[in-house]
Amino acid sequence: MGNSMGSKRGPEDREGAGYSMHPAEKLTLTDGCRHYEGKHEVPWDIQKYFAQRYSIFSWYDEGVYLTDDAWFGVIPEPVANQIAIDISAADERKTILIDSFAGAGGNTIAFALSERWQRVIAIERDASTLACAQHNAEIYGVHPSMITWIHGDSFEYLDALANRPGELHPDLRVDMDTTVLFSSPPWGGPGYRSDEVFDLHTMQPYNLEQLHKAYKSMDHVLFLPRTSNIRQVAKLAPAGCKIEVVQYCMQGASKAMAAYVPARKPISREGKPGEEPHVEDPMSADSDSSPSIEKSTAPTNGSGSSKS
Q: What confidence tens digit (pLDDT) does each residue in 123-154 have?
A: 999 999 999 999 999 999 999 999 999 999 99
- Evaluate if residue 10 carries a pLDDT over 50: no
Can you tell me the distance from the alpha carbon of 211 to that of 217, in angstroms, rounded to the nearest whole number?
Answer: 11
Q: Residue 185 CA to chain centroid, in angstroms?
A: 8
What are the backbone angles phi and psi of residue 100, rounded to the nearest 5°?
-80, -20
Give the model confidence (pLDDT) of 44-80 as tens digits. 999 999 999 999 999 999 999 999 999 999 999 999 9
> Over 80: is that where the pLDDT of 99 sits?
yes
CATH fold for domain 21-299: Rossmann fold (3.40.50)
- Place 298 in a pLDDT band, splitting at 50, 70 and 90: low
| Whether pLDDT at 244 is above 80 | yes
pTM of the predicted structure, to 2 decimals:
0.82
If one counts every other C-beta atom within 10 angstroms of the C-beta of residue 300, the result is 23
Statement: residue 174 has pLDDT above 90: yes
Region 271-288 average pLDDT: 34
For the chain, give the number of residues. Answer: 308
The whole-angstrom distance between residue 117's C-alpha and the CA centroid of its chain comes to 14
Q: What are the angstrom distances between the C-alpha of 60 and each of 83, 106, 167?
A: 20, 11, 38
DSSP classification of residue 140 = T
Extended strands (E) in 35-174: 96-99, 119-124, 147-151
Query: Which amino acid is present at 22?
Result: H
Using CA atoms in the order 300, 301, 303, 305, what is the torsion angle rounded to 10 degrees? -20
pLDDT of residue 163: 96
What is the edge-to-edge ordering of all strands in the sheet holding 253-261?
147-151, 119-124, 96-99, 179-183, 219-224, 253-261, 243-250, 293-299
What is the model's pLDDT at position 79? 96
More reliable by pLDDT, 234 or 195: 234
